[in-house]
Amino acid sequence: MKTLIVANWKMNPSSLAEANRLFGLVEKGSKKIKKAEVVVCPPFPYLLSMKYQASSIKLGAQDCFWEEKGAFTGEVSPLMLKNLRCNYVIIGHSERRNYFGETDGVINKKIKSALQAKLSPIFCIGETWQERNKGKTRQVLKSQIEKGLSGIKENEVNGLILAYEPVWAIGNGKICSFKEAQVMGFYSREIIARLFSSLLAKKIPVLYGGSVNSKNARDYVREGGFDGLLVGGASLNDQEFIEILRSVVNA
Ligand code: PGA
């Protein structure tokens, strides 16, 4: 399986011209890197860009709603994303949980709806600094996974991807060591094995995210046993992002 490197651009950059420029550079730089599957998740409006539509880079969205269509002002459905050539959608990112009050129940509906539309949900889980320091990390991950995947059968989870992102390590340069991350990556698979089967637990890609850069990327994948990375800040710098790709596949 190819290493999956997902760029989460979040609410950046502020113009289509800048976004196209960044996309073009990433596309050019990643062309020779065959062992990685590169996914770019730009803000919704940029998904329409012809440049992205004609590219070999896979497209993802940063969120979706759970209904297919209707009177839901401001929302975007998984079907719309699928029809725009998206293959992936990030669901349950900690910024959505924190700033927009997304609950495990909401995330569960979104995951179900994305799976139904044949999009691969990149389901984010992770503990806060306080939860970690109170020794509650496992409890948090277990609850997020169980609630997020509630009511979904094993034959319906095709395409599901887990992303372990310790909230305290996101966007601030605070590093979660690959050893600490690895333990939680394994633990997440254990939960999947208990909920579904050990076969699925082995098969499901688990990504790491949280202040990933070109210096630490390799360790999470090669030493930490992750199948790929979810990269925020560093994905906005084409050279740094390409370095991450190189370091991971050349290791
Ligand atoms: P970061 O963001 O790489 O800037 O920490 C990761 C994420 O939020 O997915």
63 Cα–ligand 1 center, Å: 15
pLDDT digits (tens, 9 = 90+) for 104-116: 999 999 999 999 9
Ligand 1-lining residues (CB < 6 angstroms):
8, 165, 170-171, 209-212, 230-234
Q: Identify the three-state secondary structure at position 39.
A: strand
Cα of 233 from ligand 1 centre, angstroms: 6
Is the pLDDT at 55 greater than 90, yes or no?
A: no
- Indicate if 102 belongs to the active site: no
Closest CA to 114 of 67, 57, 53, 46: 67
Average pLDDT, the chain: 96
What's residue 56's pLDDT? 85
The pLDDT tens digits for 72-90 are 999 999 999 999 999 999 9
Tens-place pLDDT, residues 4-44: 999 999 999 999 999 999 999 999 999 989 899 999 999 99
Question: For residue 85, what pLDDT is reported?
Answer: 93
Cα-trace Rg, the chain? 17
Share of the chain above pLDDT 90, in %: 92
DSSP secondary structure letters along 160-210: -EEEE--GGGSSS-PPPPHHHHHHHHHHHHHHHHHHS-HHHHHHS-EEEES
Distance 155 CA to ligand 1 centre (A): 31
Tens of pLDDT, residues 156-196: 999 999 999 999 999 988 899 999 999 999 999 999 999 99
The pair phi, psi for residue 174, each rounded to 5°, is -75, 125
Tokens of 70: 């209707």
Mutate to test the pocket of ligand 1, among 176, 231, 240, 244 (most ligand atoms within 8 A of CB): 231
Residue 204 above 70 pLDDT?
yes
Residue 65 has pLDDT above 90, yes or no: yes
Other Cβ atoms closer than 10 A to 118: 12
93 is catalytic: yes
